[in-house]
Structure formats: structure tokens, C-alpha cells
Amino acid sequence: MKKLILLMLATALLAVAYLFVSDPVDRRPAGMPDAVPVDPADLAARRGALVDQIVFTQESDPGKVTGMIETGTHHVFGQGVTSVTVFNRIRDSQQAAYDMSYGFSVELTLNPAGPELADGSLNPFHVPAIREAMNWLLDRRHVAEELYGGLAVPRYLPLNTAFPDYARLADVARALELRYQYDPARAERIITREMEKLGAERRGGQWLYQGQPVRLIVLIRTEDVRQRVGDYVANRLEDLGFRVERRYRAAAEASRLWLAGDPAGGQWHLYTGGWIATTINRDQVDQFSFYYTPRGRPEPLWQAYDPAPEFDEISERLQRRDYSTWEERQQLMARALELAMEDSARIWLVDQLSVSPRSREVELAADMAGGVSGSWLWPYTIRFRDRVGGTVVFALPGLLTEPWNPVAGSNWVFDSLIMRSLNDLPLLPDPFTGLYWPQRIESALVTVQEDVPVTRTHDWLALETAPEIRVPEDAWIAWDVEKQRFLTAGEAHPQGLTARTRTRVHYEEDYLQRRWHDGSQVSLADLVLPWILSFERASEDSPLYDPSHAPSFQVFQRHFRGWRIVSRDPLIIEIYSDQVFPDAETIVAQRTPSVQPWHVLALGVRAERTGELAFSSHQADRQRVDWLSLVAGPSLRVLDRQLEQAGGQRWLPWEGTLGGLVREGEVLARYQALATWRERRGHFWVGDGPFYLHDVYPVERTVVLRRNEHFPDPSDKWLRFTRPEIPELDLDGPLVVDAGGEAEFRLEITFQGERYPPEDIDLVQYLLFDSRGNLARRGEAEPDEAGTWVVRLSGSETAALGAGANSLEVAVTTGRVALPAFASHGFATVPERRAANGGGAD
């Protein structure tokens, strides 16, 4: 017995020893080439991705990030880190690097109900002047630097500081930020005045209303740094003499009070709110309506908003895009910003920075708003700095969260991140400006009605205006479910139809010569079937009708005015719509149709018609069937059966329409290619992106992608977007200027020590503030021959400043990043020396 136990112990020890000494991780896949040192000349020759394989795995603990990067087990983390402790470890690590994004904003939502609430208590925040005074009461720099440990930047306005509108209005924004900078004495003065007007009195340092202490309830979110922000705000209000009750609540409990509850019920007075943006929003004109007026949302809080008539009118005009020129829009925006600060139903505090950690040896394009998880260019840019090829291990907090299908499958942020590498879109957004670049199209022509303000930035597209845009009679505008054919604009609108925009898209010459991952060739049917499917799913007469699709489709129909194939070779398509975006690039991106493999969708169509699977979650629950997944689970068995039957029948859905869009023998070839693909790869996800889905391990939470060697683009196509080129400013000039004398200030704009290309600098604006903080002058700096930007002040301008300490603020906006850069220089104006000297001598 003892011998047996000893033998077992020895075996166990040997096994443990083996586990400890064996190679911790060997990720090089069998049959894959070794990574080779990078040679810039070879980059352009290589096609597709710069790494051979990407392995996605689940890791939800940000605390392990640095350790995992340092031990080399993981290279990229898709989740943004907001913990200062973790950030400090990443920053101090020799092996770790990171990218910053700006998509989360923190504000104080103030309860506007009152002045008396349901229980008869006083709500001071009913008064706009008290709300406005909160701007002076709170030190945003303290919040950003102390509470957020530097992982935030102060924010004053309802515009995200990293988005284009903030840069476009940088001069206005800067002036407002200086006007509302921290001034607690002023805040106290105003609050005291207004409280007394309300009938309150301050006795023994305590505010009383009708003999009772004025009680304020601060609803504080507990999940993040907002807990400390809430405490800070509560402390400041206590200092002013309010009795403060702190209610600490997590998201759901807090929402019940501030979002769903009646603000007049008196359950809260201030709430530490937060708003997220996962992509760069290039047009923030509707911010005012959303955040400050009852039009924002139907909930009781919004219905309690009572903006000043001028603010309400401007907000509504902006939301309706009721302006005819860009200048008019900017004027409205500038005024709305001022009025928003006077209203202050929300006190914007900071834009929180989120850190996307990665290994120092890996680079990829991270989005300025959404970080790595929001980036569209990551699959095209991910690489090892010192070698080509290799395997990157990518950690995500969750993956395969919901079933994957391209019609109405999982839209979880981390699932979407993976899917973006499997499909190749016609246009891709710039991660630093949000403007679109062509990927699979050569050019586009956007025609807009004359009264529609649209701008163009890039030269890959053209923009023109027309007094009227008529929709051609042969454009497809609807789908007849019964006859299974498109209805033309001529049939649906015999009296004629007009649209506000026409977008003519020229696809790349070989767009239809490309191949899907399963080897089958792309065809026009791949472009048209998704349209038919969308119409079918919205029609109650169709067996594919899905009530959850209908509301969105109805919105689409409001602005859709038809589309047509102008030419098949080369492929040119025209789309007519009433929906207008301020950037012509965005119009093209929103209108351009992309392809989806019709033979894969066809299996889903068959499965939904036979009541075995459903494309959407809602439909799956309604029919009590499985939600269609192309990559794993019980759906695969159903799809196998459908593939066998469809292949046997050479089945082409909506044959009357699609029959003329497929090549000879394509139907059978497609199903054969898909059957082979399914057999080799074990799933049905077929794409055309730079990576293909190689393996899926659902329980192990692992997804393996491999490089698509047949991808048409050179590997270095998008590498210029790896790093955001945020300008670095160095403003220099005299510290003392004679009032009445000329002065010159020089601004160096660089990036990583190199001069910033002047052609990429949009605007260098300056604001001059006098010693009382008043805006004395604004203007634009001018470049000199050496590439330095110069601000020149004339004698009369310096004389107008008077004697005292002044401040010159410079804002630089570029075409490369949406984020503006600021610099300031303080200088003193003194009475003219000659006069002063003379006076002294006399």
C-alpha cells in the first residue's frame, strides 16, 4: 500500500515537473512560415496582412494586462483601460506600449424641476444662473489631474474635445473655456444672490428654505472614478452651506431614479453622468437638442427641460440642419455653445482617456474615439515592428457573445472587431479624423441640391451641386414580394421623383474579379441579394418578414429614392437619397452598397423559410428556433442540410432577378466551394477581407484568423494611419511688450521632432486676452518661409491691451487628426519705454 502511494506520488511529481518545464506557449501554427525581419522594400510586394495569424482569446481582467504583455503571452488588448494604477504599470513597462482614445465624457446632470419639488423642498438647480455658476464652482483641472490621475482632459462644452467640431470652433471654445474657468468666489457670489431671490436664507453657514435646511441629493455612480467625482462635487456644495445627501448607486439602480423617475419627485438633484462615443462624430449639431431640450428623449427628465427661446430655436434649427451655408452653421454652433453654457442643464467635466495596451513590438491603427475596439483599420495595419509575419495574440474581454451572421447577427463591439477583419468594405474611416477613404472604389461623384451645405475634403471624390436632381425612371426603388422583382421609380412614381443627393460610385476595375475566401468569384448577385433580403424582411407579405427589422427599414425608406447599376464593367452604381451628411465623404460611405456572399445568405434564407433558423434574435425568439450562427452551434447542422439540398437543386434565390446577375455555372460552383470550405474550416463564414476565419473554439473562447494570401492590396497600403500625428506646439515670443509697440510671436509646429507638413495644417488661430480676461482680438497666424507660423501684433493692437499681463492662445487644427492642439504664451504690456523713461527723467 505504501509502495503504491509512493509510486503515485512520484508519478504526480513527474507530471508536475513536466508541466513546469515544458514550453509555456508555442503559438506558431503547423505549416506556417517563420516571421522574417522587415524589409521596407518587401512590404509593398507582399499582399494583404502583415502578420500570418491572429489568435483572439478572452481575458477580462485588466489587472493582468502588463504581466501578460511582459511575459509575451499576449500582444494586444482590445479593451480600453481606465484604471490609473494599470495605466501607470503599462507606462512604466519596458515591453508595453499603448494608444489613447477619447470616447467617454463625464458630466453632471442637474435636475431642472422646481423651484419647489413634490415634497415642497427647494431645488436650486431650477434656476439657470445657479446651474451656470456650477461651472465656476468646480475645478475641472483638479478633476482631470487628481481624480482621474491624468487620464482625462478638462471639458467645458457639449462638444467632445477630440472631435472635428471642437477643432473647427477652437477659437470660440477657447474663449468660452477661459470665461468659465474655475472661480469659486464668483460661483458663491452668484449662488448666494440667486438663493436669496428664491427666498432662502443662509444662517450659521447653512442654507435654509422655509426654516428647513436646503438638502441636495447627489446621485453618485459607483463603478468608476465618478464615485470620487461625486464626492468632490458633494464636498464643494457642502462648503457652500447646502446639506448634501450622497446616494451611491450602480448603473441600473441610478437609471431608475434619474432616467425613469420624475425629476419633480425629488429623488435626486445632481447625477454623475457619462456618455460614450465609439466612433468619431464629425457632425455634432444635434448635441444641443439632445442634451438640453425636451426633443432629446421621451423620458421625464428631458421633458422637464425648459431652454431659453433663442437656445431652443437654434438647437432645433441645428438639429434640422436648417442652414444653407457652412458659415451659417458655424455661427449657429458658436451661439449655441454660448447659450448651452448659460443654460448648463449639464456641467461637462472631463473627456476621459482610455488606454488600449499593446506590446511595444506590435503596431496597429487605433481609433481616436473607440480605441482598438473601434478601429476599422486595425486588420490592415497590425504588424510586428521588426518583422513580417508571425502570430499576434489578441485579448478581448468577450467574444462570440452572440451568434454571428451578417444580416442581423451579433453586433457586440468585440465580435464586430473580429468581423471587420473578415470583410473588405468599399470605404474605410480614417481613425484620426473620421473621414472616409476609398478601399474598393476608385472615385465617386456626389451631386447635391444647391441649398444643401456639404463640403468635400479629399480629392478622391468630386462634389457638385444641381438645382434639381431627378431620379431616373429605371432606378430600383422598391421590391414586389409577390412578383419577386424590383419596382422602378417610373412604376412607383409615374409623376416623377426628385432627391436631395445623387452618389455615383465607380468601383475598382477588378471589383467583380476578386474571390471570396472559399475561392468562388464575386458577382453582381452578391451586391443585389442583400438589398432584396432587406426589402423582404420588412414586408409583411414575405415569409422572411421580421418585425424587428421593420422600424429601421421604415426610416431608411423615408430618405431612400432609388438606385441603379449604370455600368457592369467597370462597375458603376448610382444611389439617390434625401439623407444628407455635412461631409461628402460620409455621403459616399453611407450610400455605397457592398457585397455579401449570396450563396451563404441563401442557406440562411432557406433555413428561415422552413422555420428552422432565424437571422435576428427577435425572430428566433418569436419562432422559438435558433438564432442563425454561421460559425458554431446547432445552426451548422441545419445549414449542412440546406447546403446539400440547395446544391442538389442548384437553387438560386429570387432567380427571376438574380438569374441575370450570375455567371454561367456560378450557382453550382458556389455551393461546391462552400461545401469544401465547410469541410476544411468547420464553419460557413465566408468573407473577402485581409484575414479569413480559420478556426473557432467556442468553449475555449478562442478564434483563429489567418492571412488571406489572395487579398488584392499591398501590405503597406494603410500603414500611414498607425500613429495619430497630433501636432506639438512651441509658442515663443517676448515676455514684455511696449504698449503701442509691435510684437511678434513665433509658433513651431512639429510632430516627433519633425516639422509638421504645412499642407496638412488647416488653420492656426490665435486669441488675445487682455489682463482682465477679455477677448481683445482674434485672428489667424501666417506661415513664413522657414515654415514657422507667426502672430504679429501691431502697435495699435498692443496699445489697446493697456498695461498688464496678457495671454496669447493659439489653436492649431490639421487635416491629419481631429484633435486640435493648443498653446499659450503670457506676456506683459508696459507703458511705452520712451514715454516711461521720459516721464521718469522729467
Residues 569-598 that bind another protein (CB under 8 A): 579-581, 586, 590
Residues 678-737 that bind another protein (CB under 8 A): 695, 697-702, 704
By CB under 8 A, tell whether 462 contacts another protein. Answer: no
Query: What is the distance between the alpha carbons of residues 696 and 537, in angstroms, rounded to a whole number?
Result: 29
Nearby residues of 777 by Cβ (< 8 Å), 6 or more positions away: 767, 768, 793, 797, 800
Among 253-261, 591-599, 783-791, 794-802, which window interacts with another protein (CB under 8 A)? Answer: 253-261
Considering only residues 223, 245, 253, 742, which one is a binding residue for another protein as defined by CB under 8 A?
253
Q: Which three cell numbers stand for residue 603?
A: 442557406
The DSSP 8-state label assigned to residue 579 in this structure reads -
Query: What is the distance between the alpha carbons of residues 104 and 95, in angstroms, rounded to a whole number?
Result: 27
Strands 501-507 and 485-488 come out as unpaired
By CB under 8 A, tell whether 374 contacts another protein. Answer: no
Query: What is the distance between the alpha carbons of residues 711 and 318, in angstroms, rounded to a whole number?
Result: 43
Reported in sequence order, the residue ranges of 411-475 that DSSP labels E, i.e. its strands, are 427-429, 436-438, 441-449, 461-466, 469-470
CB of 194 to another protein, least distance (A): 30
**CB of 295 or CB of 502, closer to another protein:** 295
Considering only residues 123, 629, 813, 814, which one is a binding residue for another protein as defined by CB under 8 A?
629
By CB under 8 A, tell whether 106 contacts another protein. Answer: no
- Give Cα 650 distance to the centre of its chain: 43
By CB under 8 A, tell whether 52 contacts another protein. Answer: no
CB of 101 to another protein, least distance (A): 16
Among 147-155, 157-165, 629-637, 665-673, which window interacts with another protein (CB under 8 A)? Answer: 629-637
CB of 372 to another protein, least distance (A): 18
**Residue 480 class from Cβ within 10 Å (0-12 exposed, 13-18 middle, 19+ buried)?**
middle
Query: What is the distance between the alpha carbons of residues 663 and 623, in angstroms, rounded to a whole number?
Result: 36
**CB of 68 or CB of 743, closer to another protein:** 68
CB of 697 to another protein, least distance (A): 5
Query: What is the distance between the alpha carbons of residues 413 and 373, in angstroms, rounded to a whole number?
Result: 7
Query: What is the distance between the alpha carbons of residues 809 and 773, in angstroms, rounded to a whole number?
Result: 12
Query: What is the distance between the alpha carbons of residues 270 and 286, in angstroms, rounded to a whole number?
Result: 23
Would you say 829 and 769 are in contact if contact means Cβ atoms under 8 Å apart?
no
By CB under 8 A, tell whether 453 contacts another protein. Answer: no
Among 23-31, 84-92, 136-144, 652-660, which window interacts with another protein (CB under 8 A)? Answer: 23-31
CB of 297 to another protein, least distance (A): 6
By CB under 8 A, tell whether 451 contacts another protein. Answer: no
Q: Which three cell numbers stand for residue 222?
A: 459607483
CB of 829 to another protein, least distance (A): 47
CB of 335 to another protein, least distance (A): 20
Strands 461-466 and 441-449 come out as parallel
CB of 55 to another protein, least distance (A): 5
- Give Cα 220 distance to the centre of its chain: 26
Binding-site size, another protein (CB under 8 A): 86
**CB of 397 or CB of 519, closer to another protein:** 397
Handedness of CA 825, 831, 834, 838 (dihedral sign): negative
The DSSP 8-state label assigned to residue 126 in this structure reads G
Nearby residues of 164 by Cβ (< 8 Å), 6 or more positions away: 280, 282, 433, 434, 818
Residues 403-442 that bind another protein (CB under 8 A): 403-404
**CB of 88 or CB of 579, closer to another protein:** 579
Residues 30-49 that bind another protein (CB under 8 A): 30
Considering only residues 182, 248, 290, 531, which one is a binding residue for another protein as defined by CB under 8 A?
290
Binding string, residues 642-671; x marks residues near another protein by CB under 8 A: ------------------------------
Give me the phi and psi of 50, to 5 degrees please. Answer: -95, -5
By CB under 8 A, tell whether 637 contacts another protein. Answer: no
Residues 734-793 that bind another protein (CB under 8 A): none
Would you say 602 and 523 are in contact if contact means Cβ atoms under 8 Å apart?
no
Considering only residues 123, 289, 356, 423, which one is a binding residue for another protein as defined by CB under 8 A?
289
By CB under 8 A, tell whether 319 contacts another protein. Answer: yes
Handedness of CA 438, 441, 444, 446 (dihedral sign): negative
Would you say 134 and 400 are in contact if contact means Cβ atoms under 8 Å apart?
no
By CB under 8 A, tell whether 3 contacts another protein. Answer: no
Would you say 245 and 252 are in contact if contact means Cβ atoms under 8 Å apart?
no
Considering only residues 117, 631, 661, 662, which one is a binding residue for another protein as defined by CB under 8 A?
631
**CB of 428 or CB of 572, closer to another protein:** 428
By CB under 8 A, tell whether 55 contacts another protein. Answer: yes
Would you say 669 and 652 are in contact if contact means Cβ atoms under 8 Å apart?
no
By CB under 8 A, tell whether 296 contacts another protein. Answer: yes
Considering only residues 145, 299, 728, 760, which one is a binding residue for another protein as defined by CB under 8 A?
299
**CB of 66 or CB of 806, closer to another protein:** 66
**CB of 550 or CB of 800, closer to another protein:** 550
By CB under 8 A, tell whether 830 contacts another protein. Answer: no
CB of 683 to another protein, least distance (A): 11
Binding string, residues 503-542; x marks residues near another protein by CB under 8 A: ----------------------------------------
Among 198-206, 545-553, 647-655, 657-665, which window interacts with another protein (CB under 8 A)? Answer: 545-553
By CB under 8 A, tell whether 19 contacts another protein. Answer: yes
- Give Cα 292 distance to the centre of its chain: 22
**CB of 121 or CB of 289, closer to another protein:** 289
Among 53-61, 93-101, 241-249, 593-601, which window interacts with another protein (CB under 8 A)? Answer: 53-61
Q: Which three cell numbers stand for residue 126?
A: 431650477
- Give Cα 14 distance to the centre of its chain: 53
SS (H, E, C) 264-323: HHCCCCEEEEEEECCCCCCCCCCHHHHHHCCCCCCCHHHHCCCCCHHHHHHHHHHHCCCC
Residues 107-146 that bind another protein (CB under 8 A): none
By CB under 8 A, tell whether 295 contacts another protein. Answer: yes
Query: What is the distance between the alpha carbons of residues 174 and 168, in angstroms, rounded to a whole number?
Result: 11
By CB under 8 A, tell whether 159 contacts another protein. Answer: no
By CB under 8 A, tell whether 14 contacts another protein. Answer: no
Which amino acid, residue 404? W
Give me the phi and psi of 496, to 5 degrees please. Answer: 100, 155
CB of 142 to another protein, least distance (A): 29
Considering only residues 211, 450, 482, 624, which one is a binding residue for another protein as defined by CB under 8 A?
624
Angle between helix axes 635-649 and 598-609 (nearest 10 degrees) is 110
Question: Cell numbers 468599399 correspond to what residue?
Answer: 426
Considering only residues 110, 144, 170, 400, which one is a binding residue for another protein as defined by CB under 8 A?
400
Query: What is the distance between the alpha carbons of residues 366 and 371, in angstroms, rounded to a whole number?
Result: 5
Q: Which three cell numbers stand for residue 20?
A: 513546469
**CB of 33 or CB of 547, closer to another protein:** 547
Question: Cell numbers 437656445 correspond to what residue?
Answer: 311
Residues 57-86 that bind another protein (CB under 8 A): 57-61, 64, 67-68, 70-71, 73
Considering only residues 3, 20, 665, 785, which one is a binding residue for another protein as defined by CB under 8 A?
20
By CB under 8 A, tell whether 297 contacts another protein. Answer: yes
CB of 182 to another protein, least distance (A): 31
3-state secondary structure of 351: strand
Reported in sequence order, the residue ranges of 752-837 that DSSP labels E, i.e. its strands, are 754-755, 761-769, 775-780, 782-783, 789-793, 804-814, 821-830
Handedness of CA 218, 222, 225, 228 (dihedral sign): positive
Considering only residues 42, 474, 621, 780, which one is a binding residue for another protein as defined by CB under 8 A?
621
